[in-house]
Structures are given as C-alpha cells and as structure tokens.
Amino acid sequence: MISRRDFLQAGMAASALVGASGFGNWSRLAAQQALTQDQLLQFDTFGNVSLIHITDIHAQLKPIYFREPEINLGVGDNKGHVPHITGADFRKLHGIEDGSPSAYALTYNDFTALAKTYGRMGGMDRVATVVNAIRAERPDALLLDGGDTWHGSYTCYHTQGQDVVNVMNALKPDAMTFHWEFTLGTERIRELVQGLPFAALGANIFDAEWDEPSEDFKPYEMFERGGVKIAVIGQAFPYMPIANPGWMFPEYSFGIRDQRMQEIVDEVRAAGAELVVCLSHNGFDVDKQMASRVTGIDVILTGHTHDALPEPVLVGETILIASGSNGKFVSRVDLDVRDGRMMGFRHKLIPIFSDVIAPDTAVAAVIDEQRAPYMDQLTEVIGQADTLLYRRGNFNGTWDDLICDALISEREADIAMSPGVRWGPSILPGQDITREDIHNVTSMTYGKAYRTEMTGEFLNVILEDVGDNLFNTDPYYQQGGDMVRVGGLGYRIDISKPMGQRISEMTLLKTGEAIDPAQTYVVAGWASVNEGTEGPQIWDVVEDYIRKQGTVTVAPNTSVQVVGA
Amino acid sequence: MEFTRRDTLAIGMGAVAITVLPFRVNAAAEEAISAFTGGADIAETGVTLIAPEIAENGNTVPIGVEAEGAVAIMVLAMGNPTPGVATFTFGELAGAHSASTRIRLAGTQDLVAIAQMADGSFAKASSNVKVTIGGCGG
C-alpha cells in the first residue's frame, strides 16, 4: 500500500497561501491584494470521494474576528502534541511565516494588527461559495456538519435555532451530529430534527429510560458516491447531560461508548461500506483515543474542541481532521478508495477570509432575511472596546474578565464565575461593542446570572472538579471545555497533579487574604446546569455594565498562576 | 434593565454536595472479594465490564457485565458504603453469560466485576466511574 503520508497536500502551510512576503512590517497590504479566492480554493482533485467538513460554527452566520488560543495545554500522552501547540511553536511545526495570513488565521500573536490587515473570517455565505466551488469539481462531495451549529447568537436564541437551520439547509448538508443543539430542549430539538432534509446522526445518543439507541437519531447513514459505498457514523458530544443542563433533555443519554462504536463500524463494514467516516463531536484528544481503540474507521471528522489543524493527524490507519470553529475554516478531504479500502488522501484546511472569498448571493439573502426582524436590536451600540476582547484559551480571556467584572459590579459579589466555553468571537480595540457582540459571547438557553453564597471549601471543590475535567490524563475523563473563569479570586494550579492536589494559594483579590475554607463568600455566576436557577440574564448584566463604562478597558489578568505544564 | 440585586438568590453552579477526592475503597469490598473467591488468584482477562467513564447521574448508572463460560459474576462498587451491588448466577443452560443493571454510586470510584468460571477459576475487570459537578465545559 502506498504510504498515505505521500498523499498529504501541504495545504495552508505551503502553496495555498502565497503573497505572504512583504509582511512583518505591518504594511497595509489589503487581504484582497495578497490573496485570491482561486488561491484559497486551489486543490488538485484527487481520488474518487470528497468530504467537506465544517463544525462548531456556533450560529455565526456573518464574518467575525476570532483569536485562536495562546494557552492550550495537553497532559499525559498528549502533552506537547497537536492540538496542544500554539503560537510560534504552531507556526514552526507547520512552516507558517510570522505575520502571514496563515499566522493570523491559526495563531494568536499580533492578533489586533493582523486582524486589521486581513479582516474578518467566516460567514456562511462565504462558506457556501467554497462548498459550491468544491461541488463544481466534485458534484457528489459530501458536506458534513459536526454540530454546535444551532447555538450562540442573538437571532439563534430568539428563533430557537430556526435562523441557522434555514441558512444551513441552503448549503444542503448530507449529515450532522450534535451538542449544544440539545440545550434547545427535547421538544424543540425533536421538532427541528424531524424537519431536516438530511441525516441527523448520533450512534451514542440513547434513550435514557431504556438505555437503548434513541429512535430520534440514526447511528449512521450510507451513501454511494463516486462508485464508493460510504458509511458516515455520527458521534454526538458524549458528556451532554454533565457539561450542559441534563434537565432540559432528560429523555436522552450519551457517553463515549467505544463498544457501541465498534459494533456500528462492524455493522456498516458487513453491509458493504468501503469507506467509514465518523462525524464526531467528541473533542480532539477523545477522538484520538477512540481511534486507537476502535478499529475500522478511515476518517474521523473531529469537532468540539475548536482546534484548527492544517494537517491531518494519523492514529494507526485512521486520519483525524480538525476544522476549527465559528465558520473560520472548511476542510476538504479527497480520498482514493479502491478495492474496499482507503488508499490515500489529500487534505486542505481552507481559511474563510471574508474579504477574499465572495459571498454566495443566494445564501447571503437567506442570512439577511433571518436577521432583518432583529436589526435594530442587533446593531445597537452599547459601548466601545479599548482592549482586545477574546475568550479562547485554557484560562481567563479578556471577554471572561469583562464578564466577571460585570458580575462582581452589577451583582455586588466577592467572586464571579464564568463558564470555560470555547465559543465567542473577538472584538478589536477601538471597535464598537453592539448588543449582538454581547450575545455572541453569552447566548444560551440557561444564561441566568445567579447570586449565591459558597464556602471557601466549596470554591476549592469547584476549581478541582473543573480542573480535572480539563487536565485528567485520560482524555475519556475530559469534557472538552476550558477552566472555569474566575473574577475576584486568584489561585495557583499545578496541572501535572491529580485531582484534589492541583489547586492551591486561593486568594480573595479584594483583600489579598487567603480563602478560608470555612468562611462564606458571595459568588455571582451564570450558566448553572441546575434547574430553577434565578437571576437576570447574563447578557443584560453585561450590557448594563458596559453601558456604564462607556469605553471598556480590561487590565491584564495575573491572578491565575499555572505550573506543571 | 432593572432588577433587584438582593432578591435574586440562586441555585448556583454546583449546589450539589460533592467531595473532591475519589471515594476510598471500603474495607467491606475486600472482604466480599475474599469471600467470593476464597482467596484464589484472579486473572485480569475474560470479563467485560461496561460502564460510563463519567456518570450522567450518580443515582442511576447503567452498567453491563459479560464473561463467557462464567457460572457467577459479582459486581462491586468499591467506594460505596455498601459495596455489594449484585451477584449474577448462570445455569448450565444459560444462552448468554451477560447481565445489565443500574447502580447508585456515592461518588467517584472503581467498579469491579469478578467472574467465577465453570472450572473454578476467577477473572476480573474494573472501571473507574467519575461523579462530577460538571457544567463548566463546552
């Protein structure tokens, strides 16, 4: 068999993005002059099957800025391995020049300057152009949506996901799997799924009462493309009722369920599948481990952890493709399937530079139609940013610090807590902050801002618990989010230690005193998974705070000390 | 928008009582194993124990056990105050040597399944099940 590695097209790292020379002096070279749509889409069609993967768009229909993580620490066997490589190390690994379009799209450094040079990324109308271009070359290419699609914006919240459903339907996907979609609640997700003109997949979605595969979602769908029988198996986010409020969808149970995945792979192989694709929302490290335990999967299209990788990762005979988040990227994977097996592949992570790729007019019209009834609400300017506002990273980002400041100030709390989610676009210094921008980083169906009392001991329990969800050395015990963000509280974390020993030096910042395990503190937070949480919506709390501030400045956060990395 | 700051009390993140450390192995669990095996050696292969890595609800955790050729399979929740969960026995005419049930876990701990084979030998499998506050990921 020919080495698969030989077929790897360097994609972004080399030929795709030319015009990077002349950078480094922050010359005002507009993205349009440096790049062309043809260059971004250039791909020598290969083999007989094409897969198009998009995932974790979080309802971002319009182009956005999104800063990739500075801190993304791996533990155990994954320490120092992709995707736990960021910044200069990432650029070195993939041969990306500093200041180049790829550096802007994939790493965090000089983000503000590069964002001003290269502009916003994403937009489902631009994604549609890319999808159409691939279909022009390969009419029967499969478009697969990895989920976290119907969540994350003002219009998505107010239409209960209908706006994104309408736009995605216009792109004509072939299959989809799920995560945040379930936070719309059982009734709504059933309604939306039943109306989908494509397959809703999740081999690990079970009926909670009977512990049997759910009848609402198919485990897989068989396709015949390019003369090849292809099985696409869905794998929904395994920890839905734990990371998100299970009371909103009590009828369903999830889990990784290796044995179930192996059974399904065996079943589709027995039914004649020559190519087995897993459309997964496991998260990268979980998928890597699953690929090492389940045999017979050719391609895992991985999602959830928002990693954008310019090259596939090989685990045994399985290739893992990670396509980023928020609409910034689309992956194209061409495969040569012959004699019932995958013989080679060619891959490209296509960056959606919104100023370079022309919007598809039909999809642009659908997007505008969804937004039209809400334009006054969306566009109202609440304040201005003086600091780059971003979230992505293992620990607090500036958006999180701003939200925590708002909670402490508006809710008169000692300490604030904000969930370590990985979605939420960035805002550049000098940019207006609109209501839409606030909802983009806070929107959810359980966004009420609670105010409660917690003992120092319990605060420690929370930090240890969430820390273990992120830094447990076995990926199957990780939930794929980042560390809970805190305001008013400093701590030290040793990520190399086991649960119960990671957190130390907890300090109440307003007094500088050590947190007393027996003392009670007033804590404000949001996104509680508990039913019956009371309080104002977090976006209203943040809006009130920003309005009072006018111009928002967030000081660098030095209150979390990370060791053991 | 207007709201009264003090009126809005809340069930915050993690209003659940939970401790950080995994539950210790209950001494009664070791005794139960000795009683079941009579102190015989226990092989590490031959038993399949299916349990979630992280429990969705610690009060009702679905588990399954299977051991080809077993006459009995004992399941223990090593950290529960009462570790014994169940002992499934299989007659000579049993078509399948597997069973599934739901169990309650007081906290993060190991589950152990020990099978007694027809020839009198023993085999086991274990699995760590985590019970967590959750809610902050995504």
Q: What local confidence, expressed as pLDDT, does residue B22 receive?
A: 66
Q: How far apart are CA A429 and CA A446, in angstroms?
A: 29
Structure tokens at A81: 């391995």
What DSSP designation does A47 have? S
Residue B24: the pLDDT is 76
Domain residue spans of chain B: 5-129
DSSP A336-370: EEETTEEEEEEEEEEE-BTTTSPPPHHHHHHHHHH
Name the DSSP class of A98: T
Task: Report the interhelical angle of A124-137 vs A361-371 (nearest 10°).
Answer: 150
Residues of chain A with pLDDT under 70: 1-33
Q: Which residues of B touch A438 (CB under 8 A)?
A: none
Q: What is the distance between the alpha carbons of residues A523 and B137, in angstroms, rounded to a whole number?
A: 19
B60 touches chain A (CB under 8 A): no
Confidence (pLDDT) at A552: 97
Flag whether residue B43 sits within 8 Å of chain A, measured between CB atoms. no
The set of residues, in sequence order, having a beta carbon less than 8 Å from that of B103 and lying 6+ positions away, is B60, B61, B63, B75, B77, B85, B111
- CATH superfamily placement of domain B5-129: SoxY domain (2.60.40.2470)
* Residue B3: pLDDT band with limits 50, 70, 90: very low
pLDDT for the residue numbered B90: 95
Tell me the mean pLDDT in the region B20-34. 82
Average pLDDT in the B10-23 region?
Answer: 52
Considering only the beta carbons, identify the residue of B19, B22, B134 that sits closest to A243.
B134
Q: Do B62 and A256 touch (CB under 8 A)?
A: no
Radius of gyration of chain B from its Cα atoms, rounded to whole angstroms: 19
Distance from CA of B35 to the nearest CA of A (A): 31
Residues of chain A found within 8 Å of residue B11, distances taken between Cβ atoms: 450, 452, 528, 530-534
Measure the CA–CA gap between A513 and A501, rounded to whole angstroms: 20
Report the gap between the CA of B73 and the closest CA in chain A (Å).
20
Which residues of chain B have a CB within 8 Å of the CB of A535? 3, 8, 10
- How does pLDDT run across A477-528, given as a tens digit for each residue? 998 889 999 999 999 999 999 999 999 999 999 999 999 999 999 999 999 9
Provide φ and ψ at A457, rounded to 5°: -65, -45
pLDDT at residue B4, rounded to an integer = 45
* For A455, nearest residue in chain B (alpha carbons): B15
Taking the C-alpha atoms of residue A524 and residue A521, their distance in angstroms, rounded to an integer, is 10
Domains of chain A, CATH where assigned: 4-369 (3.60.21.10), 380-563 (3.90.780.10)
Nearest C-alpha in B relative to A485: B136
- Higher local confidence (pLDDT), A306 or B4: A306
